[in-house]
Amino acid sequence: MADISAPWTKPTANSLACWFGLLVARTGEAGASDVGEEEIGMSWQRGWMIGAMLLASLVGGAASNLVLTARLGAQGGDVVTASQINIVDREGRLRAVLAGEDERGMTSLAFYGPDGTVRGVVGADPDGTPVLRFNNPAGVGRLSASVRDDEPVITVGDEAARSVLIGSFGGTPIVGLVDRGRTRLRMTVGDQGTPRISLFNTAGQRGVGLVVAADDAPFLYLWDAAGAQRLAMGTVQGSTVVNLGDGTRPRLVLGVADNGRASVAFYDAEGALERDVSADTRR
């Protein structure tokens, strides 16, 4: 008869059947040589009970394993499950933490300097937004990046003071220079490849604008402190035009046509032409 006294590790379905058969066989042999029929029957019952218990434990273990596998979404012999892993250097100082949910609610990998200051974080917000952040030795952010929905944003510098914002909003690439949360300069490229530069005052109103239109016509715009446009100048189809306005409409228009003819036009408050003076106008 086979020896079943050796340690048992992980039975398969076939090994379970074999082991249960050995239990029954061994019980039967003991009953034939040492005990009567009643004790033999009790031994058989014990054998069935032991086998049933083993089978139930295996089924329960398999069910638990299936549930765990479904939650993790992966199965393998080298899988380690933990809510947080701390990494220390040879002196025992904390240098990195991998957390399923950190104090900010993020799933993150954080890196620490030798003094315990957070120097970098890579992770995802609770809504799944990926986040990257690098800090200076004082722990203040100097570079951050994220992608929210379909809009990537990179911030370089001190967000509380002066920084550079690089991103894409609604498919429009943007570069901005920010001072204490207020945009002072913004560069964009429109849907038709139109480049635009805007300068803003301290109140957030646009002060200067530069644009090259889709027809390659360059223009310069000036606004007053209240945001009213006062000047527009550029070239259109070979002609140079300067519009001076009152904040509502042009009042004085200077131009030089493509044939070299210069002119000056005056408009009233309603936009009606009052006087048109050109180089060939008789005095």
Residue 212 resides in a domain = no
Residue 205 resides in a domain = no
pLDDT along the chain (283 residues), means of 10: 34 34 37 39 44 43 46 65 95 96 95 96 96 96 94 95 95 96 96 95 95 95 95 94 94 94 94 87 56
For position 7, what pLDDT does the model report? 32
For position 74, what pLDDT does the model report? 52
Strand pairing class (195-200; 151-157): unpaired
CB distance 9 to 19 below 8 Å: no
How does pLDDT run across 238-264, given as a tens digit for each residue? 999 999 999 999 999 999 999 999 999
Residue 18 resides in a domain = yes
Q: How far is CA 35 from CA 1, 3, 181, 187, 241, in A?
A: 19, 21, 92, 97, 120
For position 71, what pLDDT does the model report? 53
For position 24, what pLDDT does the model report? 35
* Domain span including residue 62: 13-72
Residue 26 resides in a domain = yes
Backbone φ and ψ for 78, nearest 5 degrees, come out as: -110, 20
For position 78, what pLDDT does the model report? 82
Residue 62 resides in a domain = yes
Residue 141 resides in a domain = no
Kindly report the CA angle at 250 between 246 and 254, in degrees rounded to 5? 120
Helix (H) / strand (E) containing 164: strand 162-169
Residue 21 resides in a domain = yes
Q: From CA 210, how far away is CA 184, in angstroms rounded?
A: 14
The domain total for the chain is: 1
For position 239, what pLDDT does the model report? 95
Both tokens assigned to 51: 């086998």
Residue 43 resides in a domain = yes
For position 278, what pLDDT does the model report? 85
Q: From CA 220, how far away is CA 232, in angstroms rounded?
A: 6
How does pLDDT run across 25-79, given as a tens digit for each residue? 333 433 333 434 444 344 444 444 444 443 444 444 444 444 444 555 555 678 8
Share of the chain above pLDDT 90, in %: 65
For position 186, what pLDDT does the model report? 98
